[in-house]
Chains A and B, each alone.
Chain A
Amino acid sequence: MKIKEVIATINQMQRAGVIERYAIGGAVGATFYLEPVATLDVDIFVAFKTQPGSSLVSPQPIFEYLTQHGATVEGEYLVIAGWPVQFLPPTSPLGEEALAQAAEVDVEGEPTRVFSAEHLAALALQLGRAKDKARLLQFVENGALDADRFQTILTRHGLLEKWRTFGQQFLQP
């Protein structure tokens, strides 16, 4: 399985100290809770380390490590085992919380971390693109969310109004 190779490579990079905590998000992350939906890339959320002597965070150590270990660069992507992988910093308090509270899972003997279903759904609501709304609807229709936990996240991150609007648009009978 090629995605397992991607996970194994990222785990090796973590063990080498290049990155600290990471978690899978996006469509691949959603696949841990929903039916698989075609996607072209893998989103890995990671807390970037600051470079010595600089306050700026940089993905450079990730690029250097992975290209030395067989990955190729295609634009903003690193291609690992045939999968374009994008390394992303969390860009909101919700994203930071999703990374901090990511669930530990096992993929056929390979440990990894993935955003919780509730955080993936809240991020989809926050982003609000058509594909995000479709994914959020999948989470709801599949009964994949812990309602209390989801509500708490929405409240904490000021997303209740957006949720009400989403409900009126898509969840009314």
Chain B
Amino acid sequence: MTFDLRTILQSKAALRLRLAAQPIGVKLRLLDELRARAVAIAASRKTAKPSAK
């Protein structure tokens, strides 16, 4: 692990390229999972009560 910004950005770019190079079946399964997560987050936002000040 590093806090060097250049290294962090390079590793992010490398991860994106690795993900992009995955077989389409793998990527579409990830989309399924990402959507399920986004729906769950949206639902929790709707039910979350605003905190009292």
The answer to whether A binds B is yes
Chain A contact residues, CB within 8 Å of chain B:
1-4, 28, 31-40, 83, 105, 107-108, 138, 141-142, 144
CB pair B38 A40 closer than 8 Å: yes
State the CA gap A4–B25 with chains docked (Å). Answer: 9
Does B16 make an interface contact (CB < 8 A)? yes
- Residue count of chain B within 8 Å CB distance of chain A: 18
> Majority SS of interface residues in chain B?
helix
CB neighbours of A83 from chain B (8 A): 35
Does B48 make an interface contact (CB < 8 A)? no
Does B8 make an interface contact (CB < 8 A)? no
CB pair B30 A142 closer than 8 Å: no
CB pair A38 B19 closer than 8 Å: no
Partner of A36 from B13, B17, B34, B39 at Cβ < 8 Å: B34
CB pair B27 A31 closer than 8 Å: yes
CB pair B24 A105 closer than 8 Å: yes
CB neighbours of A31 from chain B (8 A): 24, 27-28, 31
State the CA gap A28–B32 with chains docked (Å). Answer: 10
CB pair A36 B27 closer than 8 Å: yes
CB pair B32 A38 closer than 8 Å: no
CB pair A1 B27 closer than 8 Å: no
